[in-house]
Amino acid sequence: MGLFAPIAGFGVTLKQMFRKRVTITYPKHKRVKPQRFHGRHVLNRYPDGMEKCIGCELCAGICPARCIYVRGKDNPADAPVSPGERYGFIYEINMLRCIFCAMCVEACPTEAITMTHLFEMSVSNRADAIYTRGELLMSPEGEVPHPQPASKLIDLDELRQADGWMRATASSGRAAYEGVRGWTPTAGAGHRPPERGQSEHPEGEEESD
């Protein structure tokens, strides 16, 4: 039996060579990410440019990895930053500690923090992995900044998928809420429709507000 053991091992290898591959040639080819994919975070704005974050610090309180640091500040009376009494004056996320569980997304009462589809965020300096408010907050036009330089691994268009996870779970599985948008519009993206399979309307048909 010991004499034929190497031959039996090669037999397994040869058999697998002719089967369909389950891997892909990354990064030349990339799989399409699901709607609920947990990638890097973004702080959203309303279409009028107001920030959605009200500085309540619930995201920092719920985070199991303690990777979020938030400090709220009272809105200036002459030029309010958000619709609430306060806004997120300081906002930091340590991506080295983040476990991408999306608990912060669930805890946020204003849909201010959501997760994009971008996950290629490798850095050579640990300090670069701490994202500040300036790197998380989208512009009034809806563009999401990214601190790392663009490369063939990074598809910056994935930053535009900033509210997919929240939209996909908004109905909480209840049939009575199918096709009903339970979220606010976002700068740049507007008021996106529910994901496919959640709406009773035919594909491509928009719902009335």
For the chain, helix (H) and strand (E) counts, in that order, are 5, 5
207 falls in which pLDDT band (50, 70, 90)? very low
Q: Lowest-confidence range among 47-51, 115-119, 156-160, 164-168? A: 164-168
**pLDDT digit string (tens) for 109-140?**
998 999 988 888 888 888 989 999 999 999 99
CA 77 centroid distance within chain: 32
Using the predicted structure, report yes or no on whether residue 203 has a pLDDT greater than 70.
no
- Tell me which CATH code domain 27-177 carries: 3.30.70.3270
d(C-alpha 157, C-alpha 167), whole Å: 18
Sorted by sequence, the CB contacts under 8 Å of residue 63 that are 6+ apart come out as 103, 104
- pLDDT greater at residue 116 or residue 195: 116
**pLDDT digit string (tens) for 27-71?**
778 888 887 788 999 999 999 999 999 999 999 999 999 999 999
d(C-alpha 113, C-alpha 120), whole Å: 19
Q: Most confidently modeled of 22-31, 49-58, 152-161?
A: 49-58
Contacts 24+ apart (CB under 8 A), 69-78: 69/93, 69/94
Using the predicted structure, report yes or no on whether residue 79 has a pLDDT greater than 60.
yes
Note if the bond before 27 is cis, omega within 30 degrees: yes
Which stretches within the chain are classed as H helix? Answer: 5-17, 58-62, 103-107, 133-136, 164-168
Domain ranges of the chain: 27-177
